[in-house]
Amino acid sequence: MPASVLVAYATRHGSTQEVAEAVAATLREGRLEVDLRTAREVRSLEGYSAVVLGTAIYMFRLHKDARRFLTRHREALSKRLVAIFAMGPFNNDEKEWQGVRAQLDKELAMFPWLTPVAQEVFGGKFDPAKLRFPYNLVPYLKRLPASDIRDWNATRAWARSVAERLESP
Ligand SMILES: Cc1cc2nc3c(=O)[nH]c(=O)nc-3n(C[C@H](O)[C@H](O)[C@H](O)COP(=O)(O)O)c2cc1C
């Protein structure tokens, strides 16, 4: 029986969803059965042997749907293989990436029972025209240029490494 994997994602503007779709497509190339759902709509992890959770980071915190997902499914997640990716820096400044990795570590430390088999930060997408309240009132954010530094090759390479881990647990 192929392992069954849930890819769940928490997004506000859709860029994390698109990365989750790429991760799911790559996992499907192997021997895995994959479902793709928003973290918010998942009621049960029954039937899945592994979970990939993708989340945007907003204001140094995991998207609230990701935090709720981890809290709600704690018991089931502690018995399954879990991989996590988070988005994401706007530019390729190494210091910013280190900062975001540290943010992710700090956020995941709030779930000490969680021991991901893989954890990654991906570059994100930013569009000042799509800022919503209250962020559309922050002059610094409004002045930032639009950017999209999502790296699809890096995403697929990460997903392949996760697939290898999940195919031979
Ligand atoms: C108001 C705002 C705050 C953000 N805060 C962070 C942050 O603290 N850390 C980070 O890595 N990215 C941060 N980001 C970047 C988002 O995570 C990135 O744009 C991501 O691609 C958004 O995902 P989504 O399109 O799925 O919502 C922020 C973006 C916005 C608009």
The residue type at 99:
G
Residues 6+ apart with CB under 8 A from 162: 23, 27, 52, 83, 117, 118
**What's the pLDDT tens digit per position in 51-73?**
999 999 999 999 999 999 999 99
Question: Is 126 close to ligand 1, i.e. is its CB under 6 Å away?
Answer: yes
Using an 8 Å Cβ cutoff, are 70 and 77 in contact? Answer: yes
What is the model's pLDDT at position 169? 60
Question: Is 100 close to ligand 1, i.e. is its CB under 6 Å away?
Answer: yes
- C-alpha 109/C-alpha 107 separation (Å) is 5
Q: Quick one: average pLDDT of 22-30? A: 96
Q: How far is the CA of 57 from the centre of ligand 1 (A)?
A: 5
**What's the pLDDT tens digit per position in 87-111?**
999 889 999 999 999 999 999 999 9
**What's the pLDDT tens digit per position in 108-139?**
999 999 999 999 999 999 999 999 999 999 99
Question: Is 12 close to ligand 1, i.e. is its CB under 6 Å away?
Answer: yes
Nearest 5°: the CA angle 62, 42, 75 is 75
Which residue's C-alpha comes closest to atom 1 of ligand 1? 135
- C-alpha 75/C-alpha 160 separation (Å) is 27
